[in-house]
Structure 1
Amino acid sequence: MQIGMLGGTFDPVHLGHLRSAVEVREALGLDRLHMIPAPQPPLRDTPQVSPEQRFELLRLGISDTPSIVADDRELRREGRSYSVHTLIELRQMYGNSASLVMIIGFDAFLKLTKWHNVKQIFSLAHLVVIDRPGYNVPWPDALRELVGDREVDSADELKQCPNGKVLMLALPSMMAISATYIRERLKEGRSVRYLLPEAVEDAILRHGFYHSDE
């Protein structure tokens, strides 16, 4: 099996997140893609909306999209959200022969050396980095050393072993939608139509999420 993990704060989930999930699942030939909200990401501030509320928005956004699932396992875990712990659980769930892929954005990739037990990640999964065309930021030396000779050129190479490779992947749409921008518009009472799935927008407006700093 080909299994993917796409984590994030999803604060809130928007069409950019969801379109990227569909495209990365197709590009990698994944049988299943787990979208996993982090209750408290270690490298950013506490989200304004609770983990349970963000998970419900994610569930509404995914709806019946084939082979993509909203996964709340990190919400049920005490303490900080570390990707390596989630990968351990997914590896136990799918077995040692499955090709397990963790998908992250390029900005997060640049901070990879600061992640908890980062070297263990490669013993559990492949790493696919969503590249940003025209965003030519040099890799820090420590990151270059960490990746070493793990980089491959195609998704097919990921299927040849269960873990340990790195693939830079450019997606066709690359929708430039920012959750920060959405939160700002909601706080100001401005329209977010066509930035979010309709069900997510309806739930946010109904519950009054993101309309104040409280």
Structure 2
Amino acid sequence: MAEELREQLGLERVRFIPAAVPPHRASPQIEAFHRAEMVRLAIAGNPAFTLDNRELARSGPSYSLDTLTELRAELGTETPLCLLIGSDAFLGLHTWHRWRELQDLAHFVVAHRPGTIPREDAMSPELRQVWQQRGTLQPADVQAMPAGRILLLPITALDISASAIRTALVEGRSTRYLIPETVRAYIDSHHLYARQASKEHHGT
């Protein structure tokens, strides 16, 4: 998905930024340094992809506002900056920490499956108002200014979800061809999801 988005938007670089403490959901069962290493392995070989560990170095919740503020300071005021999110995350955007300020720092690029574009009647009143003011379906609009637009962008649908892959790993089922072999080998060598399955089995 990331490569498809990079091509459609003409991005020079895509940063993968693992969250140490996600503020909008329960903390991941796998430690942050393991998750970061799996990202590094998954993106190795693509010169346009970069692992950015800045959120792992912070204490407290991993707020997007802090990350985007840092990136904007590094990139300057004129460079377009995009935050790539999925449809579900977009529909919950109004619950994010100081979410309105994010619009001054970056564009939101909302990846959705073809034919499943987020509907306005599914948006909160606050989000609907912002979408009506800033929304676009044209990638060129986010290339023409540094921040402030919301782009809905269709991407090729894959018939597998991250949660389904995690479930398969916990249950000991094969994930061959679903994740990179280097990542699968790392998971096996560190017994990551086997350890999680053991915790769930013993109720801890």
The two structures have a TM-score, normalised by structure 2, of 0.91
User: Which residue of structure 1 lines up, in the alignment, with residue 182 of structure 2?
Assistant: 199
Question: Which structure would you say has the larger Rg?
Answer: 2
Residue 14 (structure 2) aligned to one of 19, 26, 33: 33
**What percent identity do the matched residue pairs reach?**
42
Cα distance in 2 for residues equivalent to 1:113 and 1:80: 17
1:165 paired with 2:146, answer no
1:102-141 mapped onto 2 (5 Å cutoff)? 102-135=83-116, 137=119, 138-141=122-125
Cα shift readout 1:122-179 (whole Å, capped 9, x = no counterpart):
11011110022333553232210233310123111112111101110001x2213222
Contact kept? 2:40, 2:51, Cα under 8 Å: yes
User: Which residue of structure 2 lines up, in the alignment, with residue 75 of structure 1?
Assistant: 56
Contact kept? 1:35, 1:69, Cα under 8 Å: yes
Q: Is there any run of 5+ residues in structure 1 with no aligned partner, and where? A: 1-19
Contact kept? 1:113, 1:146, Cα under 8 Å: no
User: Which residue of structure 2 lines up, in the alignment, with residue 45 of structure 1?
Assistant: 26
Cα distance in 1 for residues equivalent to 2:103 and 2:145: 12
Cα distance in 2 for residues equivalent to 1:186 and 1:144: 38
1:143 paired with 2:133, answer no
The two structures have a TM-score, normalised by structure 1, of 0.87
Cα distance in 1 for residues equivalent to 2:136 and 2:171: 45
CA RMSD of aligned residues (A): 1.3
Q: Is there any run of 5+ residues in structure 2 with no aligned partner, and where? A: 200-204
* C-alpha displacement of 1:108: 0.3
1:97 paired with 2:81, answer no
Contact kept? 2:94, 2:124, Cα under 8 Å: no
* C-alpha displacement of 1:183: 1.7
**Structure showing the higher strand proportion among its residues:** 1
Contact kept? 1:99, 1:158, Cα under 8 Å: yes
Of structures 1 and 2, the one with the larger relative CO (CA 8 A, separation 6+) is 1
Residue 152 (structure 1) aligned to one of 133, 136, 141: 136
| SS of match in other structure, 2:109 | strand
Cα distance in 1 for residues equivalent to 2:65 and 2:74: 14
**Structure showing the higher helix proportion among its residues:** 2
Cα distance in 1 for residues equivalent to 2:36 and 2:173: 23
Contact kept? 1:125, 1:163, Cα under 8 Å: yes
AA at the equivalent of 1:174: A
